[in-house]
């Protein structure tokens, strides 16, 4: 994978940086694994706008992803595809009886490669196995937080965690945020790093690409009137003081995690500020 700079034929292409997509091997998705995806435009069930700056965007269909990897067999990788619903690429895999499933594509996965899941699998790239069977120091992604619930951690492009230690029935995972937490060793994790690591280097180049993604224009708080926002008003440009939301709560640095959350005892080290 790589990043390409486009010849600036138009103003929107002058600063654009785009992913080359050279790793993709298919342009059309598997029809049997598609589901409809309805957009709300930021409105609730009564039609009232509850989330601003959302609406429009290109029509999409959801790709049903196998986050559980609960079929403990060997499968063959058929394709590496683009998914409009996530930053990572996805892979279509096929089992011996012909069943097809989509998985989040690991970095370096190839068409024709054999991958497996479940206890007893080898700790190779793309294989999913319990944390108790993965060697210490291994890079993993698609990590379960509860056995059988499916992957919840490290699913976006280029992310990965490191298996640091094991203590009894728990494994210690170092997450990309810097947080270290304990997870049951019976939880599944996939070996390797998530594909499309160059996603973070992309530059859209123009506002229109945000509209294609369903994001509408956002008004800066400092440009509003005092009645609309705590940072609004003032003669000319003025510093707004502490960054706050429209309702007055702090929008930077405010801790929102429930102090009484039971799983807090599993967090050994908080994420970096």
Q: Determine what percent of the chain falls in helix, strand and coil, rounding each to the nearest 5.
A: 10, 30, 60
Please tell me the predicted confidence (pLDDT) of residue 1: 64
In a domain, residue 166? The reply is: yes
Please tell me the predicted confidence (pLDDT) of residue 240: 66
Structure letter (DSSP) for residue 92:
E
Q: pLDDT tens digits, residue range 124-159?
A: 999 999 999 999 999 999 999 999 999 999 999 999
pLDDT over 70 (residue 45)? yes
CATH number of 7's domain: 2.30.30.30
Q: How confident is the model at residue 241 (pLDDT cuts 50, 70, 90)?
A: confident
In a domain, residue 269? The reply is: no
Q: Which helix (H) or strand (E) holds 268?
A: strand 267-269
In a domain, residue 126? The reply is: yes
Distances (CA, A) of 251 to 2, 170, 221, 231, 263: 35, 35, 12, 12, 25
Please tell me the predicted confidence (pLDDT) of residue 14: 94
Domain range enclosing 126:
3-38+59-200
Q: Which helix (H) or strand (E) holds 188?
A: strand 188-191
Closest by CA position to 187, among listed 223, 159, 160, 147: 147
Q: Which helix (H) or strand (E) holds 100?
A: strand 100-104
Distances (CA, A) of 4 to 20, 87, 109, 156, 242: 6, 17, 22, 21, 39
Distances (CA, A) of 257 to 51, 130, 180, 234, 262: 21, 28, 16, 34, 11
| Number of domains into which the chain is organized | 1
In a domain, residue 116? The reply is: yes
CA distance 242 to 270: 24
In a domain, residue 209? The reply is: no
Structure tokens at 135: 């060697």
**Mean pLDDT, residues 210-220 taken together:** 96
In a domain, residue 146? The reply is: yes
Question: Considering the entire predicted model, what is its pTM?
Answer: 0.92
């Amino acid at each position: 994978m790589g990043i390409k700079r486009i010849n600036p034929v138009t103003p929107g292409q002058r600063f654009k940086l785009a992913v080359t997509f050279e790793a993709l091997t298919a342009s059309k998705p598997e029809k049997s694994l598609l589901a409809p995806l309805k957009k709300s435009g930021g409105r609730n069930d009564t039609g009232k706008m509850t989330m601003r700056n959302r609406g429009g965007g290109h029509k999409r269909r959801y790709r049903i992803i196998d986050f559980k990897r609960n079929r403990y067999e060997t499968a063959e990788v058929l394709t590496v595809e683009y998914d409009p619903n996530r930053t990572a690429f996805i892979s279509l895999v096929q089992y011996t009886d012909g069943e097809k499933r989509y998985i989040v594509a690991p970095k370096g996965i190839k068409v024709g490669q054999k991958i497996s899941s479940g206890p007893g699998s080898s700790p190779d790239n793309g294989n999913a196995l319990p944390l108790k069977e993965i060697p210490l120091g291994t890079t993993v992604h698609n990590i379960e937080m509860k056995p059988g619930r499916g992957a919840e951690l490290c699913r976006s492009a280029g992310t990965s965690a490191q298996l640091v230690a094991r203590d009894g029935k728990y494994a210690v995972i170092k997450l990309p945020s810097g947080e270290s937490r304990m997870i049951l060793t019976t939880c599944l994790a996939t070996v390797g790093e998530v594909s499309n690591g160059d996603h973070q280097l992309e530059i859209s180049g123009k506002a229109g690409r945000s509209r294609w993604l369903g994001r509408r224009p956002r008004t800066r708080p400092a440009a509003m009137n005092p009645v609309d926002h705590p940072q609004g008003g003032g003669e000319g440009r003025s510093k707004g003081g502490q960054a706050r939301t429209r309702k007055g709560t702090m929008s930077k640095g405010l801790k929102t995690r429930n102090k009484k959350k039971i799983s807090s005892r599993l967090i050994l080290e908080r994420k970096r500020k």
